[in-house]
Amino acid sequence: MRVAKKIDEVRSFVRAARMRGAQVGFVPTMGALHQGHLALIRACVAQNDVSVVSIFVNPTQFGPREDFNSYPRPFEQDVALCEKEGVDLVFAPSAGEMYSPDHATYVEVEGLTAGLCGQFRPGHFRGVTTVVSKLFNIVEPDTAYFGEKDYQQLIVIKRMVADLNFPVRIVPIPTVREADGLAVSSRNLYLSARERRAAPALYRALCEGAKAAAQGASGFEVEKITRQALEKEPLFKLQYVQAVHPETLQPREDQGVPMVIAAAAYLGSTRLIDNIKVEGRS
Ligand code: AMP
């Protein structure tokens, strides 16, 4: 397995693979790899001839008061995990390699980024779509893998790829969870023992909402049921619960399924997000 820090090295590696007729798969990450990332990497390795994983904590997607500096960076461990999974190339650029001091171009998806996390993290999705565009231009993958854990991000990336004609197929991967239901996340490392015990309440609340949705409840009703379920866990400070259409991300309000119930909540100073999709009535 190669570890490349430079864009040119990635380009020549991928182009040589493509000359041999290889299909190239790509998994963009911020590192601190866990079982969620590994599900993406395993799908990528299984479905492609050559697999590229990027590890880059992208400064432009963090707000000024967010956790860019404290974000975990266990680089050696991440590289070892990639090697074990059969990854061919890890791309781990410096911030300077990705953004020149006079960088002035951004990619922005309108509409879909306005609600949900977009309301609370101004500039976040602009940072994500900008870095993913750059990574797609550097790696030129045939297929790229994204987790449903970050559901709004997945929909925003799909829109960007369609709108800007990136020749990349986007493959969504279901959320990987701990045994108690908590969605696996690099930020779970921040939780105290007490917070970690409280954390599964977020998914439990979403499941209560999903049950109501499957029985015919409207978006408004589902949001209320989910909110009330989460309020039973006093350590959580809810940021939002919203029932939205799975493709348009428009609020469901007085409509029912299909819907994605998405939530963000703080446990102490750690912000957790999760979601659940309800396709139809049971
Ligand atoms: P990140 O390193 O947090 O930027 O995540 C990189 C990719 O892994 C994104 O596409 C995430 O949606 C995905 N991901 C993160 N956590 C999970 C999880 N628990 N299950 C599935 N995918 C995940």
What's the pLDDT tens digit per position in 63-101? 999 999 999 999 999 999 999 999 999 999 999 999 999
User: Cβ(90)–Cβ(64) under 8 Å?
Assistant: no
User: How confident is the model at residue 120, as a pLDDT?
Assistant: 97
Domain contains 282: no
**Of the residues 173, 199, 215, which one is the last residue of a structural domain?**
173
Which residues are known catalytic residues? 37
Q: Which domain holds residue 244?
A: 186-275
16 phi/psi in degrees, rounded to 5 = -65, -40
Q: Ligand 1 centroid to 19 CA: how many Å?
A: 30
For the four alpha carbons of 138, 7, 99 and 3, in that order, the dihedral sign comes to: positive
Domain contains 214: yes
Helices (H), 20-123: 35-47, 75-85, 95-98, 117-120
User: Cβ(90)–Cβ(28) under 8 Å?
Assistant: no
For ligand 1, whether the C-beta of 26 sits within 6 Å is no
Q: Ligand 1 centroid to 27 CA: how many Å?
A: 9
Pick the atom of ligand 1 nearest to 153's CA: 12
Pick the atom of ligand 1 nearest to 186's CA: 3
Q: List the one residue out of 145, 141, 133 whose CA is nearest residue 85.
A: 145
For ligand 1, whether the C-beta of 53 sits within 6 Å is no
Q: Are residues 135 and 25 in the same domain?
A: yes
For ligand 1, whether the C-beta of 127 sits within 6 Å is no
User: Cβ(257)–Cβ(279) under 8 Å?
Assistant: yes
How far is residue 242's CA from residue 157's CA, in Å, rounded to a whole number? 20
Domain count, the chain: 2
User: How confident is the model at residue 282, as a pLDDT?
Assistant: 87
Q: Are residues 167 and 225 in the same domain?
A: no
Residue tagged 């779509």 (tokens): 129
User: Cβ(232)–Cβ(248) under 8 Å?
Assistant: no
How far is residue 172's CA from residue 224's CA, in Å, rounded to a whole number? 28
For ligand 1, whether the C-beta of 159 sits within 6 Å is no
Domain contains 90: yes
CA gyration radius, the chain: 19
Any idea what the CATH number is for the domain that residue 250 is in? 3.30.1300.10
Q: List the one residue out of 124, 119, 155 whose CA is nearest residue 239.
A: 119
User: How confident is the model at residue 261, as a pLDDT?
Assistant: 98
For ligand 1, whether the C-beta of 152 sits within 6 Å is no
Q: Are residues 255 and 155 in the same domain?
A: no
Q: Are residues 155 and 252 in the same domain?
A: no
Q: Are residues 110 and 190 in the same domain?
A: no
Domain contains 28: yes
User: How confident is the model at residue 150, as a pLDDT?
Assistant: 98
**Of the residues 118, 145, 173, which one is the last residue of a structural domain?**
173
Q: Are residues 124 and 41 in the same domain?
A: yes
Residue tagged 């493709």 (tokens): 247
Substitution candidate for ligand 1 out of 75, 82, 149 with most atoms within 8 A of CB: 149
For ligand 1, whether the C-beta of 134 sits within 6 Å is no
Per-residue pLDDT of the chain (282 residues; tens, 9 = 90+): 999 999 999 999 999 999 999 999 999 999 999 999 999 999 999 999 999 999 999 999 999 999 999 999 999 999 999 999 999 999 999 999 999 999 999 999 999 999 999 999 999 999 999 999 999 999 999 999 999 999 999 999 999 999 999 999 999 999 999 999 999 999 999 999 999 999 999 999 999 999 999 999 999 999 999 999 999 999 999 999 999 999 999 999 999 999 999 999 999 999 999 999 999 998
For ligand 1, whether the C-beta of 200 sits within 6 Å is no
Q: Ligand 1 centroid to 36 CA: how many Å?
A: 6
How far is residue 132's CA from residue 29's CA, in Å, rounded to a whole number? 10
Residue tagged 């701990």 (tokens): 178
- Angle, nearest 10°, between helix axes 35-47 and 75-85? 40
User: Cβ(31)–Cβ(73) under 8 Å?
Assistant: yes
**Of the residues 120, 141, 173, which one is the last residue of a structural domain?**
173
User: Which residue has the CA at smallest separation from atom 10 of ligand 1?
Assistant: 146
DSSP annotation of 195 reads H
User: Which residue has the CA at smallest separation from atom 17 of ligand 1?
Assistant: 36
Q: Ligand 1 centroid to 53 CA: how many Å?
A: 12
One-letter identity of residue 282: S
Q: Are residues 167 and 191 in the same domain?
A: no
Q: Are residues 159 and 32 in the same domain?
A: yes
pTM of the model: 0.98
Domain contains 240: yes
